[in-house]
Structure 1
Amino acid sequence: MRVLFVAQGPSHVQWQIPLAWASQLAGHEVLVATRPPYVDQVARAGLTAVAVGDEQRIAALEKQVKDDFLAAVGRRVHDEGGTDFVPTEREMLIAGGRKMIALAEGMTEDAVALTRAWHPSVIVHDTGALVGVVAAAVAGVPAFGQIWGATSDGIFDVADDHIHPYFAPLFERYGAQAPTVTPAWIDPSPPSMRAQLPVRRVDMRYTPYSGPGLVPDWLWQEQTGPRVCLTTGISVSDGTSPWGGEVQRTVVETLRERGCEVVVTVKNADHPSLRDLPSGVRVVESFPLNVLLPTCAAVVHHGGTGTGTTALALGVPQLVLAHHPMHRQWGAQVADSGAGLMVRIDEETDTAAIAASARAVVDSPGLRAKAAEVAAEMAAMPAPSEVVGILEKAAVEHSNGAPS
């Protein structure tokens, strides 16, 4: 069996590595297709990567989506007689769906050419990589979406009347038909935290993977106080979020006053937001969270589901300081589960609420107990090696004439 994995971005690649390795260890041929900047990430995981997509075209398409979004919000504000140029969460979700389609359009030509040349038996795509849906439809093979934590029906539950007209032409170009629902999800999220949606789910235990790294001596040394990880992941590193500045300073100062050992994980240790950190704060660059978090009493983050799901799997309470609607969705799920807390971050956020929540996530035995319950629930889910059997069954049924 040949299994083609498709991922559209750096954090999405990491989510697919465990199942890709399970497929390869089961004796199957595996390729991981991703955008050119991220092929090295696949190679560092010991897998074979294929670059798909034109980065210049993707950038141009994303710019068009952004321009259309700003124009639409501007018209709505004008029509309502308002002066506050603030998008609604629905408008931002629709724009997010349009952006995913723009990514797909910039990757489709290469992905379709790859499937025609390599003839995969099944395609597994992250649900942000809609190009995987197109490639599978054109090739006529089974497709499985792999979600990365926050449960939503891809673009289909956002606004079909807004999204579908932009998605369908990608299929029509190659004589295929666009689906109106996600056929099946490989879902590593805890069942107790899922929204009830009419989709077929394939449960899979979440295996934390944050890339390679070197374990330093300080990680195992006796701690001076509870260790807390502070991270904003990849998606807040562009400086457009209120994260950083006063928010970051409030968290760090509160935790240091509490006597915590604070470890800040970043993609770039030279980022300007790190210049004014208090003494005693450790900054680490591109550090594997699956190695760090087991030594931590809590993690404070922006709402990225990679960080959040890793914390859940390891039983670590989390404080989500969420600015983006998708991050707020994750934060609400965590808060509802009892395994953590959320504070919405915007220009009017009360720093006292941030400080109180930072203390609570370290000191609350209830949060830690609930986080441990969720971790046990996730540990009982089927391993990636068991999910490979489902991929095998789908490929066999398809080869015997069953519909994809």
Structure 2
Amino acid sequence: MRILFVTNPFKSHLYVQVPLAWALRTAGHEVCIAGPPDMADDIARTGVPGVSIGETLLLAEKVAAVPPIPEATGPADPRGLRTGKSVQSDFGWGDPYIEFKDLISGVKGVFYPDSTVNDMVDFAKTWQPDLVISDPTALPGVVAARAVGAAHCRMLFTVDRMAQLRAACRDRFATDGDPLRDWLEPLLAPYGAQFDESAVQGQWTLSPMPQWVWRPEGVHYVPMRNVPFNGPATTPKWVYEPPTRRRVCVTLGISHRDANIEGTSASAAELFDAVADLDIEVIATFNAKQLESVLKIPDNVRTVDFVPLNALLPSCAAIVHEGGCGTFATSIEHAVPQVIVPNDFKVEKWWGSIAMADAVESRGAGVYSVNAGSMTADVLRDSLKQVLEDPSYAENAAKARSEVRGMPTPYDVVPMLEKLTAEYRTSRP
């Protein structure tokens, strides 16, 4: 088979796709990853063949020019107000329709103008893939698939934001219109394809989330274990040296900082205040911009711009993070108890950090400390001490790892993809 992956301009999104791309290649299939020119070097470094589609995005500049997202007009979440925490399944409150419209407008305007969609379709017609595997925000991937009769599936990197948002907006579509239908329907029509929910959800959806992480109902999910891939890097020697004190990783991930997205994560200064007086060694993966608000780096903190979590976490007693999907998966892989400070700022709440925080806490494998907007040094310090001092968190993190290792690996999923592709692929137009 020929399999075309469609990724978005975030390394973390690309890295989720790479283990499956390699599993397919080693099974004898041809694979190509399509992304914007901004991602060409990152794709090349994975060793998987790639192709650039569309124009250079200059994502950081475009993000800076995006106007503020309107505030939801519905009632506030009573649980969030009472506890400083949220529940992923509660996010039908407020006005998700406004947020859905903003999502579609942003994806179309920033990632996929018509010229980029046309470029993707032209490449698909040339290369003739049998299967198109799309990032969940690479919405026009279905157009390329339908244009050549290929099967189409989504590959999630977190919880199913699109399915949750569409379910919350269903009644509004009838009265106020469906902005996704308005966008994709004219693009699908020239190929005799109809807009329906399979155009949005894929004919099936690969999900890396453990069964105990909340997800919407009514979607054909195919579970696949998230095998962490942190990208090419040279690991410093000190990472492998046994720490003299308990080691704790503190990270806010790479996606937002690479795209210059600000104001959605916990404060680095507050994070450092929380750990400064604890008898631990802290490894903080922050870049210079993230450290601008920090007046003094505590003596027990080592800051590094980047270190592969796959290499660092085996030596860690705990990790503090914002609920990023790659960080979540790598922490489970190495049975590291997690202290999660997720954000639920506007559309950020749909990305799944809340669901992961809820799930980790429910499994006893970590603590949902508090939402980023409510975080204080005292609250975070108490959460971290709780995880470090109670051995049940490490025990439950080990149990969570065992459960996740029971999920099908990318290698295990290949025969299922072959079967589903044969079932859904149509004759060439």
TM over 0.5, shorter chain: yes
TM-score after normalising by structure 1 = 0.85
Answer yes or no: is 1:316 the counterpart of 2:340: no
Quick one: structure 1 residues 361 and 156, their matched pair in 2 at CA, closer, same or farther if it must change by over 3 Å? Answer: same
CA RMSD in angstroms comes to: 3.1
Gap change, CA 1:101 and 1:368, over 3 Å in 2: farther
1:49-198 to 2 correspondence within 5 Å? Answer: 49-55=50-56, 66-67=66-67, 69-70=69-70, 73=71, 88=94, 90=96, 91-92=98-99, 94-102=101-109, 103-105=111-113, 107-154=116-163, 156-160=166-170, 161=173, 162-164=178-180, 165-172=182-189, 175-181=192-198, 182=201, 183-195=203-215, 197-198=217-218
Q: Secondary structure at the match of 1:222?
A: coil
Q: Aligned residues, how many?
A: 387
Tell me whether 351-360 or 89-98 shows the greater mean CA deviation.
89-98
Aligned to 2:43: 42
- Which residue of the other structure, out of 293, 297, 312, is the alignment partner of 2:317? 297
One-letter amino acid of the counterpart of residue 295, structure 1:
S
Cα 1:2–1:346 change in 2 (3 A) is: closer
Q: What is aligned with 1:84?
A: none
Tell me, in whole angstroms, the C-alpha distance in 2 between the residues paired with 1:62 and 1:274. 24
Alignment CA distance shift 1:63-1:253 (3 Å): closer
Partners of 1:57 and 1:167 in 2: how far apart?
24
Does the aligned pair in 2 maintain the 1:251–1:358 contact within 8 Å? Answer: no
User: What's the CA shift for 1:15?
Assistant: 0.2
Residue 14 of structure 1 corresponds to which residue in structure 2?
15
Deviation at residue 384 of structure 1 after TM alignment: 1.0
CA 1:399–1:99 in 2, change beyond 3 Å: closer, same or farther?
A: closer
Q: How far apart are residue 153 of structure 1 and its match?
A: 4.4
Q: Please report how far the alpha carbon of residue 378 of structure 1 lies from its aligned counterpart in structure 2 after TM superposition.
A: 1.0
1:338/1:166 CA distance change after superposition, 3 Å: farther
Aligned to 1:376: 402
Partner of 1:361 in structure 2? 387
Greater CA drift, 101-110 or 318-327: 101-110
Q: Indicate the residue corresponding to 1:240 in structure 2.
A: 262
How far the C-alpha of 1:170 sits from its partner, in A, is 3.5
Q: Identify which range, 99-108 or 200-209, moves more after superposition.
A: 99-108
Amino acid of the structure 2 residue aligned with 1:109? N
Tell me if structure 2 keeps the 8 A contact 1:58–1:105.
no
**1:62: Cα distance to partner?**
7.1
- Does residue 290 of structure 2 align to residue 281 of structure 1? no
The whole-number CA distance in structure 2 between the counterparts of 1:261 and 1:60 is 36
TM-score (norm 2): 0.80
Give the 3 Å change call, closer, same or farther, for CA 266–33 of structure 1 in structure 2: farther
Whether the 8 Å contact between 1:5 and 1:33 is mirrored in structure 2 is yes
Alpha-carbon distance change, 236 to 57 in structure 1, aligned in 2, over 3 angstroms: closer
Aligned residue identity for 1:119: Q
Counterpart of 1:259, as a letter, is D
Mean CA deviation greater in 31-40 or 145-154 = 145-154
Q: What amino acid is aligned across from residue 397 of structure 2 in structure 1?
A: A
* Identity between Structure 1 and Structure 2 (%): 29
Q: Tell me, what secondary structure is at the counterpart of 2:196?
A: coil
1:340-362 CA distances to partner (integer Å, 9 max, x unpaired)? 22234455544322221122232
5+ long unaligned stretches in structure 2: 75-92
CA shift for structure 1 position 270: 8.0
What residue is the counterpart of 1:333 in the other structure? 359
Would the aligned equivalents of 1:269 and 1:283 in 2 still touch at CA under 8 Å?
A: no
Q: Is the 8 A contact 2:274 2:377 kept in 1?
A: no
CA contact (8 A) 2:319 2:331 kept: yes
Q: CA deviation at 1:56?
A: 5.2
Shift of the 117–400 alpha-carbon distance from structure 1 to 2, 3 Å rule, reads closer
Structure 1 match to 2:272: 252
**Match of residue 82 from structure 1:** none
Q: Which range is displaced more, 176-185 or 290-299?
A: 176-185
User: Residues 258-299 of structure 1: CA distance to partner in whole angstroms, max 9, x if unpaired?
Assistant: 211101113558852466322232122232111111111111
- Measured in 2, the distance between the counterparts of 1:140 and 1:53 equals 22
Deviations 1:308-327 (A, max 9, x none): 12212221111111223133
Q: Contact 1:254 / 1:359 at 8 angstroms: preserved in 2?
A: no
Q: What is the CA–CA distance in structure 2 between the aligned matches of 1:322 and 1:22, rounded to whole Å?
A: 32
Q: 2:153 is paired with a residue of what secondary structure?
A: strand
Kept in 2, the 8 Å contact 1:334–1:341? The answer is yes
Residue 172 and residue 63 in structure 1: after superposition, are their counterparts in 2 closer, same or farther (change >3 A)? Answer: farther
User: Which one is further off, 154-163 or 45-54?
Assistant: 154-163
What is the SS of the residue equivalent to 1:41? helix
Q: Which has the higher contact order (CA 8 A, sep 6+)?
A: 2
Letter in 1 for 2:418: E
1:391 — aligned with what? 417
User: How far apart, in 2, do the equivalents of 1:191 and 1:397 lie?
Assistant: 26
Q: 1:169-204: CA deviations, max 9, x gaps?
A: 433465532232412111121112243511212121
The more displaced of 176-185 and 314-323 is: 176-185
Bigger drift between 7-16 and 129-138 goes to: 129-138
Indicate conservation of the 8 Å contact 2:332/2:401, yes or no.
yes
Query: In 2, Cα distance between the equivalents of 1:347 and 1:397?
Result: 47
Q: State the distance in 1 between where 2:410 and 2:205 align.
A: 14
Match of 1:83 in 2: none
**2:135–2:154 Cα contact (<8 Å) kept:** yes
